[in-house]
Each structure stands twice: as C-alpha cells, then as structure tokens.
Structure 1
Amino acid sequence: MFTRAWIRWLLLHGLLRSYLLWSARRGDPLGQIAFGQDRLLGSSRYIEEIRQRGRIPRMSGAWVTADHELCRLILRDRRFGVVSPNHPAMPKLLRWVLAKTDPGLPNLGEPPSMLVTDPPDHTRYRRLVRQVFSPKAIATLEERVVEVTDDLLERLESKPRPDLIGDFSAQLPVAIIAEVLGLPADMHSTLLKWGDTGAPLLERGLTWTTYRHAIEDLAEVKRYFDHHFDELTAEPGDDVLSMLVTGGELTRREQVANAALLLDAGFLTTVNMLGNGIALLTSHPEQLDLLAAQPELWPGAVEEILRYDCPVRMTGRLANCDVDIADQHIKSGSLVLLSLAGANHDPAVFPDPERFDVTRANAAEHVSFSGGIHSCLGARLARMEGAVSLRALFERYPDLRLDGPPIPYPLINLHAYRSMPAKLPAG
C-alpha cells in the first residue's frame, strides 16, 4: 500500500513539484510563486505577468489566461474537458500506472468525483443531487441558517479571544451541510478535520507528507461512508445521501466519492469566503459603514468579496480537440490554465479592479464559482449563508476587530485562513 501511494504521489505531485522548483530557479513566474515569498496564483504580480504577455500566452508549458471573457468562454466550451488522470490526453503509460495504483479513495481531485468528471458520467452524478441546491431548496434553509448563526454569535460572547474561523466561519456551513446530508451533529468536528486535510488534494505539487496525511484521512472517510451507505441501503431517509442510494444509478464507489464532494462543496467554499470576507471588511471600515447604513447591500457585498478575493485562484482545462481561440492555435491535449483571480480583476470588466467596493454594480459577474456544467453546486447556498451570517456578525459586533494578522493556509491555489483571532467588544 505504501509503495503504491508513493508512486501515485510521484506521478501526480512529485514530478510536477520538481519541475516547478527547476523552473523557479530559471526565473519562470509560476515556479517562483510556488517556491517564493508570494505564494498565491492570484497575486497581482503573477496576474500582471500574464496580462503583459497577451490574452492567452504560453507559460510554464501551458496556455494561461487572466482574461475574463476567455475564462468564461473556456469554462463553458465543451471542446475543453476537466483535468483528470483519466483524460484521453494523458499518456497511456501514466493512465495505466495510475489505474494500477488507484486505492479507491474518495479523492475530490480524482474520478469519480463529479468535480473532475465530464459527461456522460458527470451528468448522471449531478442530476441526482441538483434539486437539493435549487433556489427553492436554498430558500427553505434560510431560516435554519439564521438560527445557527444566532446560536454561534451567542457562544462567541463567552470567548475572550475567539477564533473567527474555528468558532464561527467553519461552524455555520458544516452544521448546515451536515443536516442537508443527514449526518449527525456529533460528526461536525470530524467533518471539519476531513475537510482540512483533504482540501490540499485540489492542488498539484504537494509534498509527500501533505499527500500522505490527506489519503490517510480519505481512508477514514471511505470507511465511514461505506458503513453509512450500508445503513441507508437497508433504511433510506429523505436526505441527499439517501437520494444517491435510491437513485439506483451509482456504484458504491461513485456514491462515496460524490458524498465526500457534496460534503466539501457544501462547506469548504463558504468557510473560506466568510474568512476572506471578515478580513476584507475589517480592513475596510468605510465599507462596513455603508453596509450598516444600507443593509440591503449585503448580497452585493458577498459578490464583491468573492470577486475581490476568490477562494480558488486558478483552475485548468484540457483541450479535447484542436481549438483556435484569441488568435492562438491550441492543440488537442494541451493544458489551459484559467486565472479566476485574474479574470475577477480584469479592468476591461471591473473598473478600478483593485478597489474593494460593496456597491460595485457588476460584482456578480465574477467567475469564483467556475462556470458551465462544472459551476459550483453549492454556490447558491454559499451566497445565502454569506449574506445572512456576515450581516448578523457585524450587526451584533459593530466594533469587531482582528487581534493580530490572520493566519493563512500555506497553499498556492486555495486562498483561505486557518485562524483569525479577534476582539469582540459588546455590541
């Protein structure tokens, strides 16, 4: 088992990590970000480097774009597929070795997770669960979100130095998605631990230690959901996971993989959005003053938070065929990297993009939730949770201040905070 895991890490992460280190020494911007001080793919330096080279230049062995129009186009274009170890563009030998070393774990970044699966399989998976995240379904959850938020804010009063990530931003979305999936409340801390170690698997170039810890937790996730689906098969309920069982279309592995995805899609993005939002709003008190005077602006403020500081900085696509786009000929099998952070700061779409403005009229045109058939399933839920909980937090504690700089996750593509100590004067 150890040898297979190490070979899999080497092929999916280790070789890329070595390449990025080599390219950093040669002055390549992507490599320098991976191993330098400025470690975010959404950094203004990296985005500017892309823009200076054109709308979709060739960099680091891939096509890269920070152009809003091109990102939206490619995300919706069926001539491009998700980056997956199973994609036909991958070398046959690589696909063979990966198939032989596949541990069958519910890895978010590998099939049969719908995140990295194209039609027709993706269509089967999404059809079974999309109604749970429909506008009507989200509207019915809003009252519960208000209740959970109020309870969390009450608890904060007893904490002299609360952590706004661990004590608030993480607790709300995990409580809501656990209820939607039919998982017990005593699982919340375990679910958060699984999300914490599993999130890095959405990146590439991980260290062996990070990868090993993540797959160890995935083995625990698999054991839990295997047992849970056995129980649901015998006695299904009216929750989402029961739908995966009673739908009759999925194998057990597909059930477990997409249960893990629904869990993480239901809270990871929201945790990161809330943390990023608190950091932005506390550092822009004039924007908080606007929201206090005009609370109807809160939904737009959430869109601006997502635009200005999106949790996922970049995504990728593989060309399924030869494609001519923006005066470039992209050959079949080529990797195209889409800078979501760059698209969200495209001055052609968002005037003065480096200005954080909760009144920005077109903030919702951001691409932070991806687009096309792979747009984030939990986007509506995240938006609603953000508007409800951030408004309640700052109305309850209008003088909220951070107690020192927040501590970010040491990741390249995912921008989020691990901890955010705060001071909460009585409000």
Structure 2
Amino acid sequence: MDARYSIRWAAEHGLPRLGFLALRAQGDLLARLMSGDEGYDDPYSLIDQLRGDGGVQVTRAGYAVFGYETCREILRDRRFGVRKPIDSAVPLPLRRYAERIAVPPNPIEAPSMFALDPPEHGRLRKPVASAFTPRAVARLGDRVREVTAELLDAMAAHESVDLIATFAAQVPIAVIAEIMGFPAADRELFLRWGSHVAPLLDVGISWQAHHRAMLATEALTDYLVAHIEKVRRDPGEDIFSLLVTTGDLTTTELLASANVLMGAGFETTMNLLGNSIPILLSHPDQLDLLRAEPERWSLAIEELLRFDTSVQMTARSVLEPVQFEGGVPLEPGKSVVVSVAGANRDPAKFPDPHRFDVTRANAKDHLSFGTGMHACIGASLTRLEVLQALPALFDRFPDIRLDGEPTRRRLSTLRGYSQMPVRLKSR
C-alpha cells in the first residue's frame, strides 16, 4: 500500500484525532460526542447538554448546531458548502502536500457528489438521481418482496440468528446488486468492503481504520473498473447499465457515481433496519398497535427514522460571512457540525422527543435524509425496502426476541449495529 496514504491520514484524521482525544480528556462535550464510547452508545444525552438555544454552539472542538430550524437552514443555505476532507486548521504546508496525494474514489473525495458544490454537484447528481425516481424505485418493489421472502425462509430453519448478517444487511445488498448488475455471488465482497469504507465519513479515525478503508477502496475500484468495461461491451437492463451507456460521465465520474449508488442504497437501509428491531421490541405496545393496524407502518417508519437516525451528523463549510439572529459570526473557511440526531430530537419541533410514538403526526419532518440540494437520493428506496421488510419480519416471527446484547458499530456519523443476536421462536 502506498506509504503516502499515511500523509493523507495525518492531515485528514491524525491531527483532528489528537485534538479530539485531548479535548475529550478535558471534558469537551462535542469531542466526547464525536469520539469514544459515550458518543457511540448514547449520543442523545450529550446532544441534550450541547443543544443550547438551538443556534450555533461554540465549543473548543468547533462550531456545532443541534436545533431543528438552524440545522435545516444551514443544509439549505447556499452560503454553506460541503466540508473539505482536510480542514483549514491543518498547517498549510501539510495541507498542500496531502491534497496532492491521490486516493482511490470514495464518498468524501471529489468527484463524489457528496464532496462537490454547484455547479458540478448538479451535473453529477442528475444522472444518478434518475436511478431513484419514484417510478424507477416502484419497479424494484417486486424484487424487494422476493428477496425478503427468500431471506425469511432461510432464517426459519434456525432458532437463533445474527439479524444484521442474515437480514438487515442482506435486503439492501441484494437490491443494490440488482441496480448495479452485480452477480449475487459477489454480495459478500461488497458487504466486507462497505464495512471498511464506512469509517471514512467520520473525522479522526485511527490509522488502522484508514488503512483498511484505503485497501477496500482500492479493491472496490479495481472491481468497478472491470465492471464498467464489461457493461460498455455488453450492457444489461439494470439501472447502472443505463447510466454507463446513456450518460456522458468519464470512468472516474462513473466510479464516483457507483460509490454514491451503493452508499445511498445500502448504508441507510441496513442501519435503519437494524436500529428498528430493538426499538420496536422495547416498545411492545407500539408493536402491538402496528400488528393490529398495519396501515400505520408507513408513519412508523418515519418515526423510526426520527427516533434513532442512521446518519447522526454531517458538516458544512462556511463559504461567506454568516451570522444568524442572536448568534455568533461565522467566518469563511470554518466548519460547522450539523447534528441531524439533535434536530430530530429537538423539543421545539417534536414535543416529548425522547418518546417513541408511531402515531406522531409530524414524524415525517425529520432530517434523516437531509434537505436541500444534498438530500439523500436513496430516500424513496430506503422507505420501500424497510416498509416491505420490517412488517414481514414481525409477521413471520411473532415471538422474535433479542438473544443477547447487540453490538454497536464504533462510528460517530453512521449509527447502526454490527451484530444483533435474536431468537426467532419461543423455546
């Protein structure tokens, strides 16, 4: 592996990591939220302490916002752009050297649309978004039902399973394979690569995590380059083939778009499915209501998204001077952490926000899929998959119970489980 990646790690993660660890030891709440067990296991108590008046909060670890209205405004405001992988606080010589070191295509590097502002963002988003139009997603409905039924049939042969490995990860990866035209035999490759790449969305990851991510992105890139060439020679009827053959994207842009397609269609769905199980099992009255009145499932999915969002936070860079009413002035070049989890549990927007309520009328106002130009393009697909998969799981296994403590992923941005042992049948 190219030793120069160590320079990228030092600039992107190493220096911020040292800062977070030092500030966490001194009790800085934002540093505690973004690193360490407390931020992974129970971020919401820290968020309540950080919320303040809902405007931009100033901590020694940086600017952050936890109120619904300000979070929504920042995500929609053109005076804010995407955060650059290397923060402006990194010493200039190191920053300039690190920026010249190329890394494999990944979600946080241009030309990924996640890392671009207008006008390039719109040019790359438009062809990819065509994969997730309501009509295109509706055509995947039958496949989602087939996959769900197949997985439940396979699970029925066992009394206990790991629900992440056998179900929550398998539903979305099967659908993504359908979208991308990948053979079913390669699904496990993508699950492994995806688990290694996901930490890149955090700030301050360890060198070992960064090393694994780079190896995974290299392997994924090699696979995708070969797949793109195959599609150009012999296109299929899948959505990605349409993107390759009808668009004007370069191979590099197609690689970035493929990463977006897989990320938008996989991570949110897997984590939402996994997060939902313990919530519903710990609220049996709500689950009983859904069983008695299954038409409530659609709104229940929105409440699940609000209550424990799969994407806990994002960040924006200040492009021009900004000062919200009564708030602190924000200078260009500074970054602001936007707490999606904080917005979703803001009592000013969602009364009694820590109560899980599948009848909550405004649950769909959550920001779990973002808003504005960077709103998640896979939102409609995630809703479709979860609306099919969750009711089917509880219908097929009415006695399902946790069979031990689920294991959280040690990530700050993406919230989910890596393992979840469950007992499917009564003893």
- TM-score of the aligned structures, taking structure 2 as reference length: 0.95
| 1:369–1:379 Cα contact (<8 Å) kept | yes
| 2:37–2:410 Cα contact (<8 Å) kept | no
Q: Aligned partners of 1:258, 1:92: CA distance in 2, in Å? A: 31
Bigger shift: residues 130-139 or 53-62: 53-62
Letter of the structure 2 residue corresponding to residue 26 of structure 1? Q
Letter of the structure 1 residue corresponding to residue 180 of structure 2? L
Q: Which residue of 1 aligns with 2:393?
A: 393
| 2:128–2:257 Cα contact (<8 Å) kept | no
Q: Aligned partners of 1:160, 1:310: CA distance in 2, in Å? A: 29
| 2:57–2:63 Cα contact (<8 Å) kept | yes
Q: Which residue of 2 aligns with 1:166?
A: 165
**Alignment deviations for residues 186-243 of structure 1 (CA, whole Å, 9 cap, x no partner):** 1111111111111111111110011101110111001011111112222333323223
Q: Which residue of 2 aligns with 1:285?
A: 284
- Give the SS at the match of 1:162: strand
1:144 paired to 2:153: no
Q: Aligned partners of 2:331, 2:42: CA distance in 1, in Å? A: 26
Q: CA RMSD in A?
A: 2.0
Return the offset for 1:108: 1.2
- Give the SS at the match of 1:330: coil
Bigger shift: residues 62-71 or 234-243: 234-243
Q: Which residue of 2 aligns with 1:49?
A: 49
Q: Aligned partners of 1:387, 1:83: CA distance in 2, in Å? A: 33
Letter of the structure 1 residue corresponding to residue 235 of structure 2? P
Q: Aligned partners of 1:350, 1:85: CA distance in 2, in Å? A: 33
Q: Which residue of 2 aligns with 1:302?
A: 301
Q: Which residue of 1 aligns with 2:84?
A: 84
Q: Aligned partners of 1:91, 1:248: CA distance in 2, in Å? A: 40
Q: Which residue of 2 aligns with 1:13?
A: 13
- Give the SS at the match of 2:317: strand
Return the offset for 1:86: 7.8
- Give the SS at the match of 1:292: helix
Q: Aligned partners of 1:84, 1:246: CA distance in 2, in Å? A: 31
Letter of the structure 2 residue corresponding to residue 144 of structure 1? R
Identify if the C-alpha distance between structure 1 residues 118 and 416 changes in structure 2 by more than 3 Å, giving closer, same or farther. same
Give identity over the alignment, percent.
Answer: 43
Q: Aligned partners of 1:367, 1:224: CA distance in 2, in Å? A: 34
Letter of the structure 1 residue corresponding to residue 277 of structure 2? I
Identify if the C-alpha distance between structure 1 residues 313 and 35 changes in structure 2 by more than 3 Å, giving closer, same or farther. closer
Q: Which residue of 1 aligns with 2:117?
A: 118
Bigger shift: residues 62-71 or 27-36: 27-36
Q: Which residue of 2 aligns with 1:275?
A: 274
Identify if the C-alpha distance between structure 1 residues 76 and 35 changes in structure 2 by more than 3 Å, giving closer, same or farther. closer
Return the offset for 1:273: 0.2
Q: Which residue of 1 aligns with 2:411?
A: 411
Q: Aligned partners of 2:118, 2:179: CA distance in 1, in Å? A: 26
Q: Which residue of 1 aligns with 2:254?
A: 255
Structure 1 moving runs of 4+ over 3 Å: 33-37, 85-95
Q: Aligned partners of 1:286, 1:248: CA distance in 2, in Å? A: 50
Matching of residues 85-234 of structure 1 within 5 Å: 85=85, 93=93, 96-103=96-103, 105-234=104-233
**Alignment deviations for residues 71-107 of structure 1 (CA, whole Å, 9 cap, x no partner):** 111111111101124899987645532332113x121
Return the offset for 1:160: 2.6
1:361 paired to 2:361: yes
Identify if the C-alpha distance between structure 1 residues 358 and 53 changes in structure 2 by more than 3 Å, giving closer, same or farther. closer
| 2:280–2:286 Cα contact (<8 Å) kept | yes
Aligned residues: 426
Structure 1: where are the runs of 5+ without partners? Answer: none
Return the offset for 1:61: 4.3
Letter of the structure 1 residue corresponding to residue 147 of structure 2? V
Letter of the structure 2 residue corresponding to residue 100 of structure 1? R
- TM-score of the aligned structures, taking structure 1 as reference length: 0.95
**Alignment deviations for residues 2-57 of structure 1 (CA, whole Å, 9 cap, x no partner):** 32110110000010000011111222112234454412397223212222365212
Identify if the C-alpha distance between structure 1 residues 374 and 35 changes in structure 2 by more than 3 Å, giving closer, same or farther. closer
Return the offset for 1:185: 0.9
| 2:107–2:260 Cα contact (<8 Å) kept | yes
Return the offset for 1:121: 1.6
Letter of the structure 2 residue corresponding to residue 25 of structure 1? A
| 1:42–1:314 Cα contact (<8 Å) kept | no
- Give the SS at the match of 2:4: helix
- Give the SS at the match of 1:63: strand
| 1:161–1:422 Cα contact (<8 Å) kept | yes
Q: Which residue of 2 aligns with 1:421?
A: 421
Q: Aligned partners of 1:67, 1:53: CA distance in 2, in Å? A: 7
**Alignment deviations for residues 252-293 of structure 1 (CA, whole Å, 9 cap, x no partner):** 111112212211211111000000001110111111100011
| 1:42–1:339 Cα contact (<8 Å) kept | no
Q: Aligned partners of 1:314, 1:188: CA distance in 2, in Å? A: 28
| 1:85–1:98 Cα contact (<8 Å) kept | no
Letter of the structure 2 residue corresponding to residue 394 of structure 1? F
| 1:174–1:192 Cα contact (<8 Å) kept | yes
